[in-house]
Structure 1
């Protein structure tokens, strides 16, 4: 069955993880994502606004290496930053302003970089 409303739209995204167990625990704790395991080297996620997955890899998705940056939204940026730190995430860029609002970048425990943005103060 086709989904005409989704034609040519980004439908799924996959990230590398150096530690799938820690990655899944981190995103479940901080962002409330749920996971379905497909063998020991792949886990699909849902509850993120877009479905996707993490695959076991020795690589990291980092903007310094030219990777695409996935950016999540938070209505409470400071609280989200604290939750990221408490769950074992590494803050790569603390909160800063940009023309559309404020954001920070972090590495999840599996090594991949993501960002979280919020509206201007």
Structure 2
């Protein structure tokens, strides 16, 4: 995995309804305000995606930089969940074989627009949340 200078940054598809709801889910449970966010459509998001081999025009995964390393697909989701207060139990899901976890993740990722919809533009956070969004 490639190192990245910023830590605890979640890269997400900003026009994806499901992905934006995932970010809202994390925000509501991130009492420590540990995580910051960047839509893949932003200049910062594009650089981050390219650094980790994600096509910013056809993203098939979200990612999280944690501990200086990028975690993709199911590892990204479980890394974020397991670091939220009250969600530490999700660490046990790392024991499920990664190919199985990623297969389920990939089915949802491939069908996310069809199932959940797509925004015309990126999700716009409120003023308080904007402090935690990296875009440039």
Q: TM-score range by the shorter chain?
A: 0.3 to 0.5
Highest CA radius of gyration, 1 or 2?
1
Q: Larger helix proportion, structure 1 or 2?
A: 2
Q: Which has the higher contact order (CA 8 A, sep 6+)?
A: 2
The structure that is strand-richer by fraction is 1
